Amino acid sequence: MLLAGTLAFGGLATQQSLAGAPTQSACAPKGRGAVAADRYGQLWVQGADQTEMWGCLYGHRPHDLYRFVGGSGWAFTSPLVSGQVAAFEAALSDSDGPNYDIVVVVNLATGRQIKRVADGDGPGGDGIGQLESMVLKPDGAVAWIAPTGYMNSVNQVYVDDAAGYRMLASGTSIAGGSLALAGSTIYWLQGGVAQSARLQ
């Protein structure tokens, strides 16, 4: 259940750490701390109810990347920056309106959305819930683990890259926080055994 104005940052990968990000070139407004950053750019959330995701490349103008309209509960989760691209999950809930969980990938140089897909149940679906973990390549290829099933007992591994949107694995033994990226290869644990796939 999402609460109105809830700002959640679960499943952050160590791929983009705030610790190494430069602060002298930060482009977020004063008082708005970055929720994800690397040496090229950053993401931050603003708006009266924290309903807007903004981002920029250092030294360039900021872009309004995504904003919630309506709904009784919303959250941005799993924000990542990788070179000139960024990704995050946007989740909206409303008892009288739309409900969705989507993965959004954007170009920080232009503010343009590169990808906008459901986090599960197919690219045109409404999604299945808050991500366990996500990784992002500088070319915009993205992969994530999302929970589904009774009591979120099943984890599913999804990819959206040059080869398209697809589910790679599903099962109760997939470790939700185990997703990692090395070069163009993703890794996760299933039943305690390392699994891998190559991002296209």
Q: Using one digit for the tens of pLDDT, what is the confidence trace for 136-149?
A: 999 999 999 998 86
Is the pLDDT reported for residue 13 higher than 90? Answer: no
Query: According to the model, what pLDDT value does residue 14 have?
Result: 35
Query: According to the model, what pLDDT value does residue 25 have?
Result: 62
Query: According to the model, what pLDDT value does residue 148 have?
Result: 84
Higher pLDDT, 172 or 15: 172
| Fold category of 18-198 in CATH | Methanol Dehydrogenase; Chain A (2.140.10)
Query: According to the model, what pLDDT value does residue 42 have?
Result: 94
Query: According to the model, what pLDDT value does residue 145 have?
Result: 95
CA separation for the pair 59, 53 (Å, rounded):
18
| Residues 139, 103, 53, 188, CA torsion sign | negative
DSSP 29: P
Q: How do 180-182 and 164-171 pair as beta strands? A: unpaired
